[in-house]
Amino acid sequence: MKETMPHWLDKQADLAPDNNAIESPLFDSITFSVLRDRAQQFAKRLASLGVKEGDHVAIYAPNSLEMVIAIHGLSYVGAVVVLLNTRLSKNELAFQIRDANVSYILTDEDNIDHFKDEKNVQIASFITVEKLQGLAITLKTEIYLDDVFTIMYTSGTTGKPKGVVHTYRNHWSSAIASALNLGIDRQDKWLATLPLFHIGGFSLLMKNVIYGMPIYLLDKFDVTSINQAILRKGVTIVSVVSVMLDRLIENLENQTYPAIFRCMLLGGGPASKHLLEKAKKHQIPVFQTYGMTETSSQIVTLSPADAFKKIGSAGKALFSAQIKILKDDQATAPLEVGEIFVKGPMVTNGYYQNEEANRTAFNQEWLATGDLGYLDGQGFLYVMDRRKDLIVSGGENIYPAEVEHVLVEIDGIKEAGVVGQKDAIWGKVPVAFLVADRKLDFDIVKQQCSESLAKYKIPKSFHIVEYLPRNASNKLLRYQLEEMLE
Amino acid sequence: MKETMPHWLDKQADLAPDNNAIESPLFDSITFSVLRDRAQQFAKRLASLGVKEGDHVAIYAPNSLEMVIAIHGLSYVGAVVVLLNTRLSKNELAFQIRDANVSYILTDEDNIDHFKDEKNVQIASFITVEKLQGLAITLKTEIYLDDVFTIMYTSGTTGKPKGVVHTYRNHWSSAIASALNLGIDRQDKWLATLPLFHIGGFSLLMKNVIYGMPIYLLDKFDVTSINQAILRKGVTIVSVVSVMLDRLIENLENQTYPAIFRCMLLGGGPASKHLLEKAKKHQIPVFQTYGMTETSSQIVTLSPADAFKKIGSAGKALFSAQIKILKDDQATAPLEVGEIFVKGPMVTNGYYQNEEANRTAFNQEWLATGDLGYLDGQGFLYVMDRRKDLIVSGGENIYPAEVEHVLVEIDGIKEAGVVGQKDAIWGKVPVAFLVADRKLDFDIVKQQCSESLAKYKIPKSFHIVEYLPRNASNKLLRYQLEEMLE
């Protein structure tokens, strides 16, 4: 049986029309009823642009009210929203646009020329759409939970990005599982500073309309703005990564957050004891989490009560979710490392039109994350390594294979190995080890990389070596490169 | 695709093993891990009694820890729980046992002889089961949301009782919709005084394991025990019906509930302005609700903020739910009375093996409630009456609830029940049964009624009674008043 609900924004605008939906230092607050009205108008204007139910429409924009309105507007039409990372190179974007069968791209005025080479795709800025006369189409009043809402790309170990398909059920289940974990308080206001094109930011738009909770929207990560929002604007929950938390605390100096601030949700790797102690000194309750695009945001969370008892742990699977650790297809004993598998209604049903990736990643309803970890005797998860080689840099994921793949296409480079190097600001930055058959100009190499890679993925330094460390099956041993760095 | 979750009690016992699950003045508190262990033991003992997955097992008992353990135990086996109302006559029970294909009845020691005439059904007391050696069967570790969990018979004031089938999804969706309405606070403790065999009580067992929230269990409605639980035991939420709330407030005298008490969830009909004012004087936040067995408990709720603005209203449909009012198959205009239809994932998929009732009650996913009501201009629901209680007098419709609502506002009248009496001229005329706390002058009562009611709605005669007939959920049984007339 189809599971049906009233359209979430419609419903929230009916239940709490005059409550603030979105607050921001960038624009006047808007209520749920205004957000609904503007999203519905936008939907009708999208229709006159030609957008129909089932169309795949990409959004390429920094966090903004227009982007939020466009997302809900597309939902009213019944279109699928493809969220593009604004830091990607043109080649990366071109791949995703083609792979996801995108027929329209919505963007802000500044980026309208960014896609001028795209064929077979109609480009429109939010402002262009806003100026159109709307068509009197029938908008969605109900949501079928198994319909597709979004596609977001993530790169795998193979280096080729895969489109993670999220249904409305995935987003709903994620918001509900988080509510059962953190509770729902009528005072809550969640700060949205993570990009809305990533699941961490996008999931806040879902909590926004499902809980009826205002979000406080920022267009970029800015330490002072965030601390001001917490200190003066009633923000009660913030999602961050470790490196951001550290900078927030530094900036706080001797101030402490108000008592209503109740949750610093920390993703992107475990917190060090040192960081936890700093947070404790400032009375900041830190909830460490583990999640990924495929799980529609966090799926494992550690409560502050357990933070010091379980240092390095990401916690336990949320109420409706399950985790297991397998090694050679067998469940591991406690403390034994293996691959982390996840299951639950927030886990994607699959990658977009990618049979091979789906065959590799799914076993029944269990998703193989590619991440290594173990459970302790009480069932707490410890993530050892993100997808073995993943480099997390300022909250963005960098897959070495993807960067290596670009490097070896460059004339003169025979082999490439990329690993993360510790960095005071970004946590980690990528660096490359190269086997070359001529002398290289690294500025030119960087230039060539920038055609295919987002800036944050381009190696910050290069090391020429005679050969790369490999095992008997010729597999690159990146951990040996890491040892060489030290 | 099957939607799967970890078994709720397993999961909560894993997440919060040492937190209290059930508290009571009747027994020592037990934690989630102890509740899980006892329910799992009970499940293995049920297996040695012969209970298998898919069996229909009835429970006939007053609220008790044993009953809670039996319910979860049956869920671990994968059996369907048929909940029997302990106030029913033997004939009524015999009908339900047969109609629901019950093969086992579990009961307390006191009632073991109650079913001695039942053939083809095995009877066992909780204590008998507890003494059995358990079998080492495989218990459920996962829940398929579309599996059937419970069958409960509707009180059926007229006609043949129907078995309402609830899936795990229905109970889950009800608990989640309530959480989105009331919020989830880590301090919460919900008082369970309504019978667990009715949906109002049973739904608290679901919230218990899904939220990880302790419930405070009482075996009967007792004003002093309830007030003590609120005043001294940290209870934050209580579900009641109007008459219970009135008695709680009377008993409170000059005391007020502590600040953490945050919700008096009021079902079974709208509150009078008088009652709301009394509650307000005692700083009791009243949430009025509308719901039924078929909707797995409340589906419409009015927040205290709207209570005085919308007197007589039950509020708006919960987040995942929808309501509409139809008259002659057409949606009504605001304020126009029609039949109330409901839809949402908490609404039953149907009555057990009752094609005719299902054909009558369902139109697509919409359930015809048989209740009459209207929506105001802002979409707030006003429930007029159960359709079958409608009094048609001289071609005019009289809704008993409306007349009762006026009567209880009159000084000296504590409770009122209105029914139709056959009349040679008008077909039917309304007459009233009153519980009074002083001697009444009926001419003055009629005079006072005439201020709020059209003449044809004013009761033609009055009967003073000591109490009104009510069912286990305290719902007025008007058919018994009609019998008293004859």
Rounded Cα distance, B314 and B301, in Å:
6
Contact of A345 with A173, CB cutoff 8 Å:
yes
For B185, which of A180, A185, A344 is closest by C-beta distance? A185
Looking at every residue in chain A, the average pLDDT score rounds to 92
A362 strand-pairing partners:
A367
Q: Which of B185, B317, B320 sits opposite A183 (nearest CB)?
A: B185
CA distance A83 to chain B (A): 26
Flag whether pLDDT at B471 surpasses 50: yes
Give Rg (Cα) of chain A.
22
- The amino acid at B240: V
The pLDDT value given to residue B48: 97
CA dist., res. B59 & res. B67, Å (int): 8
Q: Write the secondary structure of B151-194 as one string of H (helix), E (strand) and C (coil).
A: EEECCCCCCCCCEEEEEHHHHHHHHHHHHHHHCECCCCCEEECC
- Retrieve residue A38's tokens: 């503007």
Beta strand pairing call for A148-155 and A161-167: antiparallel
**Whether A180 and B184 lie within 8 Å, measured CB to CB:** yes
pLDDT at B296: 97
- Give the β-pairing of B190-192 and B237-241: parallel
CA distance B177 to chain A (A): 10
Which residues lie closer than 8 Å to A371 by C-beta, 6 or more apart? A339, A340, A383, A384, A385, A386, A387, A388, A390
pLDDT reading at B158 higher than 50: no
Residue A207: both structure tokens together: 């909590």
Q: Where are the domains of chain B?
A: 4-144, 170-387, 390-485
* CB burial readout B434-473, b (16+ within 10 A) else e: bbbeeebeeeebeebbeeebeebbbbeebeeeeebbbbbb
Q: What's the pLDDT at B157?
A: 40
Which pLDDT band holds residue B386 (cuts at 50, 70, 90)? low
Most distant CA pair in chain B, distance: 72
> What are the tens digits of pLDDT across the range B242-278?
778 988 999 999 899 999 999 999 987 777 888 899 9
Nearest residue of chain B to residue A320 (CA atoms): B5
Is the pLDDT confidence value at B2 over 80? no
Instruction: Pull the structure tokens for residue A256.
Output: 């402490």
Other CB atoms within a 10 A radius of the CB of residue B144 amount to 14
Tell me, what DSSP letter sits at residue B88?
S
B317 falls in which pLDDT band (50, 70, 90)? very high
3-state helix, strand, coil in chain B (%, to 5): 35, 30, 35
DSSP alpha helices (H): ranges in A273-411?
273-281, 304-307, 355-361, 400-407
Give the integer Cα–Cα distance in Å for B339 and B331. Answer: 10
The separation between CA A319 and the C-alpha centre of its own chain, rounded to angstroms, equals 21
Crossing angle of helices B8-15/B65-77, nearest 10°? Answer: 110
Give percent above pLDDT 70 in chain A. Answer: 97
The pLDDT value recorded for residue A229 is 97
- Measured CA to CA, the distance from residue A419 to residue A388 in angstroms comes to 11
Indicate the length of chain B as a whole number.
Answer: 486
pLDDT in tens, B401-454: 878 988 998 999 999 999 999 887 777 899 999 999 999 999 999 998 887 777
Give the residue with greater pLDDT, A137 vs B486: A137
Q: Is the predicted pLDDT of residue A387 greater than 70, yes or no?
A: no
| Secondary structure letter of residue A114 according to DSSP | G
**Residue A273 confidence (pLDDT):** 83
Whether residue B157 contacts residue B477, with contact meaning beta carbons closer than 8 Å, is answered with yes
Nearest to A179 among B15, B184, B322 (CB): B184
A287-291 contact pairs (CB < 8 A, 24+): A287/A182, A287/A263, A287/A315, A288/A313, A288/A314, A288/A315, A289/A265, A289/A314, A289/A315, A290/A314, A290/A315, A290/A381, A290/A383, A291/A199, A291/A200, A291/A267
Cβ distance of A319 and B11 shorter than 8 Å:
yes
pLDDT at B351: 95
User: How many residues does this entry show for chain A?
Assistant: 486
Question: What number of other Cβ atoms are within 10 A of residue B358's Cβ?
Answer: 17
Task: Give the distance from residue B398's alpha carbon to the nearest chain A alpha carbon, in angstroms.
Answer: 31
Other CB atoms closer than 10 Å to residue A357's CB: what's the count? 18
Most B CBs within 10 A among A2, A9, A10, A11, hence the mutation to make, goes to: A11
Give the residue from B70, B125, B121 showing the smallest Cα distance to B98. B121
B20 at A interface, C-beta within 8 A: no
**Those residues with Cβ within 8 angstroms of residue A136's Cβ, 6 or more apart along the chain or in another chain:** A44
pLDDT digits (tens, 9 = 90+) for A38-61: 999 999 999 999 999 999 999 999
Q: What is the mean pLDDT of chain B?
A: 92
pLDDT digits (tens, 9 = 90+) for A425-465: 888 999 999 999 899 999 999 999 998 899 999 999 999 99
If you average pLDDT over residues A299-317, what whole number do you get? 91
Cβ-defined contact of B180 to A185 (cutoff 8 Å): no
Per-residue pLDDT tens digits for B47-86: 999 999 999 999 999 999 999 999 999 999 999 999 998 8
| Interface check A479 vs B, CB under 8 A | no
Q: Say whether residue B358 is in contact with chain A using an 8 A CB cutoff.
A: no
CATH class of A4-144: alpha beta
Instruction: Note the Cα B228 to chain centre separation in Å.
Output: 23
pLDDT of residue A385: 62
Q: With the CA atoms of B35, B36, B39 and B43 taken in that order, what torsion angle do they form, in degrees rounded to the nearest 10?
A: -170
For residue A176, give the nearest of B6, B176, B183 by CB distance.
B176
The reply to whether A323 touches chain B by the CB within 8 Å rule is no
Evaluate whether A4-144 and A170-387 have a shared fold: yes
Chain A contact present for B345, CB below 8 A? yes
Task: Return the closest-CA partner of residue A202 out of A187, A221, A215, A183.
Answer: A215
Tell me, yes or no, if B365 comes closer than 8 A to chain A by beta carbon: yes
Contact B322 A379 (CB under 8 A): no
**Contact A180/B180, CB-based, under 8 Å?**
no
Q: H/E element holding A381?
A: strand A381-385
Which strand (E) or helix (H) includes residue A300?
Answer: strand A297-302
Q: Is the dihedral of CA B379, B385, B387, B393 positive or negative?
A: negative
Contact A322 B3 (CB under 8 A): no
Q: Are B339 and B372 in contact (CB under 8 A)?
A: yes
ipTM of model:
0.87
Q: Is A287 exposed, middle or buried (0-12, 13-18, 19+ CB in 10 A)?
A: buried
Say if residue A390's pLDDT is above 70: yes
The answer to whether residue B454 neighbours chain A at the CB level (below 8 Å) is no
Arch. (CATH architecture) of A170-387: 3-Layer(aba) Sandwich (3.40)
Task: Name the residue among B372, B376, B273 with its Cα closest to residue B315.
Answer: B376
- Residue A203 three-state SS: helix
B79 DSSP 8-state letter: P
SS3 B107: strand
* Closest residue on chain A to B183 (Cα): A184
β-pairing, A322-327 vs A316-317, is unpaired
Q: What is the DSSP letter of B140?
A: P
Q: Within a 10 A sphere around the Cβ of B353, how many other Cβ atoms?
A: 13
What residue in A sits closest to B5 (Cα-Cα)? A320
Beta strands in A119-205 (DSSP E): 122-125, 142-144, 148-155, 161-167, 190-192
- Rounded to whole angstroms, how far apart are CA atoms B373 and B380? 10
Q: Does domain B390-485 have CATH number 3.20.20.140?
A: no
Q: Say yes or no to pLDDT of B464 above 70.
A: yes
